[in-house]
Amino acid sequence: MSVGKLFGKGIVSDNPVFRLLLGLCPVLATSTSVFNAIGMGVSVIFVLLCSNILVSSIRHFIPQKIRIPIYICIIATFVTIVDMVLAGFMPELHKSLGMFIKLIVVNCIILGRAEAFASRNNPFHAIIDALGMGIGFTLAMIAVATFREILGNGTWFGMPVLGTSFEPVLLMILSPGAFFTIGLITGFLNWLDHRKRIPHAVLNG
């Protein structure tokens, strides 16, 4: 598989959030604003990248039977690093992401990539895969957060966009809004997919 195709796979065709429905908890919980979404996304990219590189470089030395505990140990180490760095340098972001930073350790995307990809490929491909999947995850988070922040708060990345006459829809910031947004986005992507498969003649005629 070419490098570009491998990179694009995580962003579009195998997007971890909208296509594979993996790692949904942080997407729903921390997408109340675009700033939080980017913070979470970058943390996930860091952990995914480091664990993929490490797993892929030591893949010939990991005994088959205890590979999962080893992966978990590697992932938990990097999660602890992220947790401490955020607590030290960005205490406000750390506070608003809360428990979900620590919960990256059970995020199925990271363990899934270690098991399904990094353990079978060389470090270079593992880096490309981690970047593709990580950026795909971050873009999905930003997409959800964009809808929720604009409708629920009238702002985007902290900047007011809808003017003062707009009454914020508080519901979008609360939990139901998260479920509605992600449901409608996945539905819309499915609709695009179905449309692509129908020949144009059928649509026009």
Partner 1 sequence: MDIQNLLVISVGAILISNFVLSRFLGICPYIGVSRQMDSAVGMGLAVIFVMAIASAVTWVIYTYFLMPTHANILFILFGKEGQSPTDLTFLQTITFIFVIASLVQFVEMVIQKTSPGLHRSLGIYLPLITTNCAVLGVSFLNIDSGYNFMESLVNGMASGIGFTLALVLMAGLREKLETARVPKAMQGAPIAFVMAGLMALAFMGFSGLSLG
Here's the x/- map for partner 1, 147-186, by CB under 8 A: it reads as ------------------------x--xxxxxxx-xxx-x
- Rule CB under 8 A: choose which of 28, 47, 145, 150 binds partner 1: 28
Structure tokens at 39: 């913070």
Structure tokens at 161: 């966009």
Assess contact for 18 and 10: CB atoms under 8 A.
no
- The reply on whether position 190 binds partner 1 by CB under 8 A is yes
User: What's the N-to-C CA distance of the chain in angstroms?
Assistant: 38
List, in sequence order, every beta strand (DSSP E) within 5-144: none
- The reply on whether position 58 binds partner 1 by CB under 8 A is no
Give one DSSP letter per residue of 24-59, joined into a string. HHHHHHSTTSHHHHHHHHHHHHHHHHHHHHHHHHTT
CB of 30 to partner 1, least distance (A): 9
Site size with partner 1, rule: CB under 8 A: 42
| Closest of 132, 170, 128 to residue 148, by C-alpha | 170
- Rule CB under 8 A: choose which of 60, 99, 163, 205 binds partner 1: 99
Q: Closer to partner 1 at the Cβ: 76 or 162?
A: 76
- Rule CB under 8 A: choose which of 194, 196, 197, 200 binds partner 1: 194
- Rule CB under 8 A: choose which of 12, 90, 95, 191 binds partner 1: 191
